[in-house]
Structure formats: structure tokens, C-alpha cells
């Protein structure tokens, strides 16, 4: 069966915004999409051809869902991998493959993977008990990261000195040396069923000062050719060594001396690739579909310089979402809001994003500020 046959079924584990944008790309290929998610109000609820309610971490829910599709993919990596392994053994095409998800799902295993495969990454030690931190004081200041279930800045914290020990996580974690970061960048790689690979040009991430969330992203990243080549080579190396089929977003640090270190990877479409919907010849979502369906990969070339602004819930507002100022930003050339369809807002919740296109960097930066100052997600009674 080919993906273009009428009875072909693509399953997505997760019905959030990434699944939603994957469906948008899938519509162009006339694919039949089934989505599994534990939230009855998930952003994909009314967009999937079939929406199944079920917990992504539940073996039976994932297994039964997987039995009904031809190709199964994910939009979030916190899923039941045992069920995926059984499905794979029984002939369901699961991309990214379960072994890749298992490696990435646990940050401890992920970091060990980089280390054992000679991929450059910051020094770290595994922490099984809080007392272990005391034994590694030389690592401080450091970042402590939970092994499992860290997401969107939760599960990662900075420990400056032993005085911070009282706030340390007690679950299995890792302690990673703080890197002197000049720039945070991300490279999205695609590897298809046949093993062909392609990379999107690096993007540069600018972070919110309080939360560990991207505030805006600049694409392509302003880097010298040598650093770009190095970043691409490392990202490709991670994808090849994992043997992943699908998209892999590789987050990296560039140090002041130009060294490039892998921070972490995500085996799926990524927040750092949203601009590609408008700014590149092929979007990351279309590329993911091409990769997992065994189709030729598309050109990742940049059509125009772009920025992406995350639309976060305003501080002090919780409840039914209201998008203040949206009509004003719609009047600016090259500004495209994407709302994720989340009913209620709360401080810092990712409610959407805005893509901004302008080939003039100074103009682009002006528009970023304009969008950030104008568009606010607040709540209404």
C-alpha cells in the first residue's frame, strides 16, 4: 500500500499544536489522520479524521490505537515505548522508531548516547540521590536535569552553588556543567525510510529571561560559515548515529570560542522549525511526512529571512483565551499568527506563535518588537 491509497491510515500520538500543524501539511497529501490524546479538548480534536481519547503513556491505549493504522508517528516523546515496540514487532511502521524514542525520552540515556558516540556535549554526571550532588561540587554552577518527563523548561534547573542544594530534584537526574553560551541554535534534520538526509539551515534561539522558553527565533541564524558547517555536521551525525526515520531537532550551544555542543534532541517537529511553514521551500511538517512515508525529501532552502515569536499566556491572566491586538498585527506585511486552539490561557502557556517575514534584519527586528508589544493573550470572563 502507498500513502496515497484510499485506505491508508496515518496515526499520530499526541494531539497538541505540533500534531495540528502536521495535519495541516497532511491535508495537502490527502492523508487520512487518526490522533490519540488524553485531553478531550486537545488542539487536534476537531481536525483529525478520527480522534481517539486515551493516555499516551498507557500501554493498552497506545497498542490498540497503533493496531488500527499503517504508519504511526509522534508529536511528543512522552509515550509508552513498550507498546510501540510490540507494534513494531507486529509489522506496524513506527517512525521515529521505538529505540530512538527510548534513547531520547530519558535525558540521562540521551546524554550517554552523545558521549559514547563521540558527539560533543557538555560534561555531566548521573545523579541517583541528592547527596551525590555534594560529591560533584566541582561541577557547580551546573544544570540539573530530570531523566524522565522534563518538558518546556520544567525538569531543568540551575544550581549555582551548594546553597541551592535544597531546591535540587530528588528523582534520578543528571548534573551538567554550565556552558558559557554565546548562542543557542537548532538544526532540524530529516532522514527518510531510505536513509536519505537533509538539514534545515540553523536557527538562533533567544530565550525568555525568567522561563526556559524560547522568546523568539531568528532564521537563518547569524553565524559564520564554519560554525554553520560544524552545526550541520553534528546534527547530521546525531541523526545518522540514532538511525532515526523522521525529523530530529538538535538543539546546540555555540561557545564564545566557536565550539559547538549538543544540548538535547527531539525526535519530531519542533518549536524551532515553525517558521519553515512560510520561510522555506518545504516546511518541517511536510518534511516529516515525506520522511516517515518513504517519499523524496523536499528542498530545505530558505526563501526569506524569518522570525518566530512564541505567543505565551500573559502573566496575571487565567481562563478563556482572548487575543488582544490581533487585528493590529494582521495589518503588518509578512506577519502570520498561528493560534493553537487551546481554550484556556494561563501565565506562560504556549498559546500560539507568530511568524514574521522580512529580508531586512533591522526591519524584521522592528516587527518582532511590534508584535510582542501589540499581541497579548489575556483572559475574558
Ligand X SMILES: Nc1ncnc2c1ncn2[C@@H]1O[C@H](COP(=O)(O)OP(=O)(O)OP(=O)(O)O)[C@@H](O)[C@H]1O
Residues near ligand X (CB under 6 A) are 122, 143, 145, 150-153, 155-156, 176, 178-179, 181, 184, 207, 212, 251, 263-264
Minimum distance, C-beta of residue 18 to ligand X, in the bound complex (Å): 12
113 or 143: CB nearest ligand X: 143
Residue 370: other Cβ atoms inside 10 A: 16
CA dihedral over 239, 244, 248, 251, signed as positive or negative: negative
Minimum distance, C-beta of residue 266 to Mg ion, in the bound complex (Å): 8
| Rounded Cα gap, residues 154 and 216, in angstroms | 19
104 or 377: CB nearest Mg ion: 104
75 or 314: CB nearest Mg ion: 75
187 or 357: CB nearest Mg ion: 187
Q: In the 8-state DSSP scheme, what is residue 225?
A: H
> 228 — phi, psi (to 5°)?
-60, -45
Minimum distance, C-beta of residue 280 to Mg ion, in the bound complex (Å): 21
Tally DSSP H helices, then E strands, for the chain: 11, 21
Minimum distance, C-beta of residue 289 to ligand X, in the bound complex (Å): 23
35 or 214: CB nearest ligand X: 214
Say which entry of Mg ion, ligand X, none residue 179 contacts (CB below 5 to 8 A, set by partner kind): ligand X
Say which entry of Mg ion, ligand X, none residue 151 contacts (CB below 5 to 8 A, set by partner kind): ligand X
Say which entry of ligand X, Mg ion, none residue 212 contacts (CB below 5 to 8 A, set by partner kind): ligand X
70 or 251: CB nearest Mg ion: 251
Residues within the interface to Mg ion (CB under 5 A): 251
What the block records as the C-alpha cell of 95 is 517512525
Say which entry of Mg ion, ligand X, none residue 122 contacts (CB below 5 to 8 A, set by partner kind): ligand X
Say which entry of Mg ion, ligand X, none residue 178 contacts (CB below 5 to 8 A, set by partner kind): ligand X
Per-position b or e across 212-241, b if 16+ CB within 10 A of its CB: ebbebbbbbbebeeebbebbbebbbbbbee
Contact between residue 71 and residue 11 where contact means Cβ atoms under 8 Å apart: yes
Minimum distance, C-beta of residue 299 to ligand X, in the bound complex (Å): 27
Helix axes 225-242, 107-116, angle to 10 degrees: 110
Minimum distance, C-beta of residue 357 to Mg ion, in the bound complex (Å): 25
| Rounded Cα gap, residues 362 and 360, in angstroms | 6
Say which entry of ligand X, Mg ion, none residue 272 contacts (CB below 5 to 8 A, set by partner kind): none
**Which residues does 118 contact at the CB level (< 8 Å), separation at least 6?**
none
Minimum distance, C-beta of residue 352 to ligand X, in the bound complex (Å): 17
Contact between residue 96 and residue 190 where contact means Cβ atoms under 8 Å apart: no
Give 9's Cβ-side CA count (13 Å radius): 13
What the block records as the C-alpha cell of 259 is 565550539
179 or 188: CB nearest ligand X: 179
Say which entry of Mg ion, ligand X, none residue 145 contacts (CB below 5 to 8 A, set by partner kind): ligand X
Strands 142-146 and 156-159: antiparallel
Q: Which residue has the CB atom at the shortest distance from ligand X?
A: 179
Amino acid at each position: 500500500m502507498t500513502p496515497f491509497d484510499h485506505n491508508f491510515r496515518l496515526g499520530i500520538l499526541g494531539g497538541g499544536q505540533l500534531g495540528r500543524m502536521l495535519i495541516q501539511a497532511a491535508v495537502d497529501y490527502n492523508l487520512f489522520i487518526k490522533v490519540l490524546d488524553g485531553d478531550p479538548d486537545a488542539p487536534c480534536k476537531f481536525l483529525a479524521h478520527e480522534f481517539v481519547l486515551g493516555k499516551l503513556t498507557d500501554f493498552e491505549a497506545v497498542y490498540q490505537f497503533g493496531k488500527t493504522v499503517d504508519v504511526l508517528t509522534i508529536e511528543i516523546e512522552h509515550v509508552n515505548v513498550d507498546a510501540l515496540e510490540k507494534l513494531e514487532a507486529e509489522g506496524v511502521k513506527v517512525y521515529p522508531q521505538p529505540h530512538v524514542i527510548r534513547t531520547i525520552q530519558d535525558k540521562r540515556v540521551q546524554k550517554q548516547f552523545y558521549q559514547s558516540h563521540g558527539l560533543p556535549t557538555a560534561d555531566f554526571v548521573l545523579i541517583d540521590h541528592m547527596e551525590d550532588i555534594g560529591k560533584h561540587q566541582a561541577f557547580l554552577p551546573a544544570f540539573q536535569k530530570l531523566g524522565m518527563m522534563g518538558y518546556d523548561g520544567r525538569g531543568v534547573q540551575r544550581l549555582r552553588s551548594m546553597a541551592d542544594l535544597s531546591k535540587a530534584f530528588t528523582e534520578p537526574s543528571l548534573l551538567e556543567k554550565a556552558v558559557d553560551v554565546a548562542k543557542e541554535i537548532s538544526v532540524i534534520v530529516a532522514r527518510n525510510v531510505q536513509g536519505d538526509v537533509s538539514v534545515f539551515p540553523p536557527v538562533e534561539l533567544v530565550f525568555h529571561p525568567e522561563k526556559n522558553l524560547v522568546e523568539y527565533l531568528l532564521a537563518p541564524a547569524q553565524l559564520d560559515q564554519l560554525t554553520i558547517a560544524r552545526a550541520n555536521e553534528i546534527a547530521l551525525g546525531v541523526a545518522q548515529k540514532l538511525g532515526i526515520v523522521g525529523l530530529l531537532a538538535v538543539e546546540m550551544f555555540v561557545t564564545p570560542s566557536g565550539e559547538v555542543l549538543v544540548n538535547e534532541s527531539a525526535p519530531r517537529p519542533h518549536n524551532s522549525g515553525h517558521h519553515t511553514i512560510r520561510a522555506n521551500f518545504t516546511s518541517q511538517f511536510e518534511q516529516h511526512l515525506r520522511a516517515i512515508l518513504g517519499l523524496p525529501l523536499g528542498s530545505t532552502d530558505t526563501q526569506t529571512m524569518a522570525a518566530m515569536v512564541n505567543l505565551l499566556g500573559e502573566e496575571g491572566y487565567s481562563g478563556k483565551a482572548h487575543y488582544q491586538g490581533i487585528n493590529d498585527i494582521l495589518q503588518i506585511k509578512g506577519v502570520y499568527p498561528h493560534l493553537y486552539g487551546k481554550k484556556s490561557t494561563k501565565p506562560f502557556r504556549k498559546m500560539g506563535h507568530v511568524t514574521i517575514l522580512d529580508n531586512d534584519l533591522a526591519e524584521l527586528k522592528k516587527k518582532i518588537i511590534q508584535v510582542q508589544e501589540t499581541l497579548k493573550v489575556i483572559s475574558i470572563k
